[in-house]
Amino acid sequence: MNLRVLALFAFLTGSVQAQVTFNRLLHANQEPQNWLTYGGTYASDRYSLLTEINRNNVKNLQLKWVWRPTTTPADEKMENTPIVVNGVLYATSLTSVVALDAATGREYWKLSRPFNPEDFHGQRMYLVNKGVAIEGNTLFWTTGWSDHLLAIDARTGRVKWEVEAADWRKGYQLDVPPLVVKNVVIVGPATDDMGANCFLAAFDIHTGKEIWKTYTSPNSADDPAAKTWAGDTWKHGGSPVWNSGSYDPETNLVFWGTGNPNPVSNGDQRSPGSKFDNLYSNCVIALDADTGKIKWHFQFTPGDEYDYDATQIPVLADITWQGKPRKVMFWANRNGFFYVLDRQTGEFLLGKPFIKLTWAEGIDKNGRPIRVPKYWPKPMGGILVMPGSQGGTNYYPPSYDPQTGLFYMSVWDNYEGFSDKRPILPWKQMHMYTGDGWWPGFGETKPPADWPPPSAQRRLRRRASPNYKTEAEGYGAIRAIDPKTGEKKWDFKMVNYTESGVLSTAGGLVFGGGMDGNFVALDATTGKPLWHVYLGGANASGPMSYAVNGKQYIIGTGADTMYAFALPD
């Protein structure tokens, strides 16, 4: 190798170093000062190896900076987990992406994409954004209301390319954090019960060209999954994608959770007698990252009528399982069960309730729920069920700490809700298709004469509001379980419920929060609170951690605002 080639090699290596290559994404845990994906690593374990902030000094944490997106309209709550690359933090709101100095919060650039009225006709969607992905020097961001996927220059905020990843006119919304694998960026839309069949799609990271597309509800009668729907009800099966996925390089599989079948609350047409499974609703699906082909699937709640979305992010871990090393996936599901699956094959290994639930008695050896007959099919007119509509947990990302061996998550326990069931109104594009009655504003202007059911209404009006209620009336908690057994290890209980994700760190800490506005640091081994701060509104994002010049920071959110904490200088 002559000198010129050597110099060129050195130059290339240097410039490559500054970029987030696929190789860096594969080994994200080797650079704990950065936070390169929504879940921290491809395993989505939301575990930081940083130890500067630890059990002994966490009580000294100080506020370092605040970021409040001044967008219009303002986000309803901040669900964003930022990413950090070499001292630059990339955060998002519904209508903007910013690059901030991760040490001071000062802005380098901002890209705004205000609501385009043409793209937004009062469709039912969440005014939130969960975050961006990065590859090379390119960020990938989605606009929830127009279903666009944008590639953005991470140094300048310039848009490199932009595609319509889904058509909002069909009832889609797109607010997942994208996942980059090799040369593709993968996203998928949700439908908030408008009966649009959802999918995952991979786009070339350089051009935006669609490489593959795989439907989560059947796209044709020839799809084998169509047989799991009665008649042609698969045509408006929904099965939304609400969150990001995880990736296993060894098998080249991406894992993704899917949401409820449509109509959400009434299965009489799509699953008469609760006899049809309605694939791939409420599943984890394992897809080949290069082709999108589904290699295996596991369905948590077949033929669902209770909105038990598998909207969680899969957590991957390599553990010793019954004496042998095993590559597994942990999943605390909205339906109230905690699962362990073999991620290479989809084999069911464990299923155990992590909250009080009434709709099932347990899980059989194949992982199917043993259903309590009075809930299946759901009686017309509805029924009180545990967990209620928000589930035992929801979109809030959990964490796995290999040091303690514990799985941490946010839960709603002792939590009952009325799940309604009404005749199914005919499907209409961009209209609610729920089977639980009247959703105003989408064509139906008058409620049915007998709506809502008075008995349930009376009972629920007597229920406590979260800030006044007692623990017996339901509570939120950050909960640690032993993932090998599903046994609870500790609880940090809150008066109110929680929408916060959880971060664990090698400093022996767990960070999380609640709808009461408190952001807390807990002892990862005991759950004892070591520090807390009131952030003025619900914590609804996944906390994360990074370091700049050796100084560790913790990010938490309250209401629509992001806060960075660190030890005193």
Candidates 212-220, 246-254, 326-334, 447-455; binding stretch for other proteins (CB under 8 A): 447-455
In whole angstroms, give the CA distance from residue 388 to residue 459: 14
Q: Does 117 sit near other proteins (CB under 8 A)?
A: yes
Query: Segment 47-76, which members bind other proteins (CB under 8 A)?
Result: 72-74, 76
Nearer to other proteins, 115 or 321 (CB): 115
Candidates 44-52, 295-303, 325-333, 449-457; binding stretch for other proteins (CB under 8 A): 449-457
What track of x and - describes contact with other proteins for positions 364 through 403 (by CB under 8 A)? ------------------------xxx-------------
In whole angstroms, give the CA distance from residue 320 to residue 251: 19
Q: Does 120 sit near other proteins (CB under 8 A)?
A: yes
CB neighbour class for 523 (10 Å; exposed up to 12, middle 13-18, buried from 19): middle
Q: Does 427 sit near other proteins (CB under 8 A)?
A: no
Q: Which amino acid is present at 419?
A: S
Q: Does 507 sit near other proteins (CB under 8 A)?
A: no
H/E stretch holding 95:
none
Q: HSE (CB half, 13 Å, CA atoms) of 553?
A: 28
Contacts by 200-204, CB closer than 8 A, 24 or more apart: 200/241, 200/245, 200/254, 200/256, 200/287, 200/292, 201/165, 201/166, 201/292, 202/289, 202/292, 203/149, 203/163, 203/165
Number of residues that bind other proteins (CB under 8 A): 68
Q: Does 126 sit near other proteins (CB under 8 A)?
A: yes
DSSP 19-48: SB-HHHHHTGGG-TT-B-STTSSTT---EE
Q: Is 436 tagged catalytic?
A: no
Nearer to other proteins, 231 or 440 (CB): 440
CA-nearest of 306, 326, 301, 194 to 248 is 326
Q: Does 420 sit near other proteins (CB under 8 A)?
A: yes
Candidates 104-112, 319-327, 342-350, 436-444; binding stretch for other proteins (CB under 8 A): 436-444
Q: HSE (CB half, 13 Å, CA atoms) of 110?
A: 16
Residue 127 is classified by DSSP as: S
Q: Does 514 sit near other proteins (CB under 8 A)?
A: yes
| E-strand stretches of 441-515 | 475-482, 487-494, 503-505, 509-513
Applying CB under 8 A, which of residues 55, 110, 124, 368 lies at the interface with other proteins?
124
In whole angstroms, give the CA distance from residue 178 to residue 132: 6
Applying CB under 8 A, which of residues 78, 91, 125, 313 lies at the interface with other proteins?
125
Shortest separation between residue 413's beta carbon and other proteins, angstroms: 14
Is the CB of residue 217 less than 8 Å from the CB of residue 239?
yes
Catalytic residue among 45, 307, 413, 516: 307
Is the CB of residue 298 less than 8 Å from the CB of residue 341?
yes
Applying CB under 8 A, which of residues 52, 101, 162, 290 lies at the interface with other proteins?
162
Beta-bridged to residue 558, according to DSSP, are 561
Applying CB under 8 A, which of residues 21, 156, 464, 536 lies at the interface with other proteins?
464
Applying CB under 8 A, which of residues 345, 429, 470, 485 lies at the interface with other proteins?
470
Q: Does 451 sit near other proteins (CB under 8 A)?
A: yes
Q: Does 208 sit near other proteins (CB under 8 A)?
A: yes
Shortest separation between residue 424's beta carbon and other proteins, angstroms: 17
Query: Segment 168-207, which members bind other proteins (CB under 8 A)?
Result: 192
Q: Does 441 sit near other proteins (CB under 8 A)?
A: yes
Applying CB under 8 A, which of residues 24, 46, 64, 77 lies at the interface with other proteins?
77
Token pair listed for 50 = 């940083």
Applying CB under 8 A, which of residues 112, 460, 489, 551 lies at the interface with other proteins?
460
Q: Does 356 sit near other proteins (CB under 8 A)?
A: no
Token pair listed for 190 = 């949700």
Output Rg (C-alpha) for the chain, integer angstroms.
Answer: 23
Nearer to other proteins, 413 or 420 (CB): 420
Shortest separation between residue 421's beta carbon and other proteins, angstroms: 12
Query: Mapping DSSP to helix (H, G, I), strand (E, B) and coil, where does residue 243 land?
Result: coil
Q: Does 467 sit near other proteins (CB under 8 A)?
A: yes
How far lies 250's CA from each of 253, 327, 344, 556, in Å?
8, 10, 9, 33
What residue ranges bind other proteins (CB under 8 A)? 72-74, 76-77, 114-118, 120, 122, 124-127, 148, 161-164, 192, 208, 210, 388-390, 417-418, 420, 436-438, 440-441, 447, 451-453, 456-457, 460-470, 473, 492-496, 499, 514-518, 529, 532, 534, 538
Just list the catalytic residues.
307
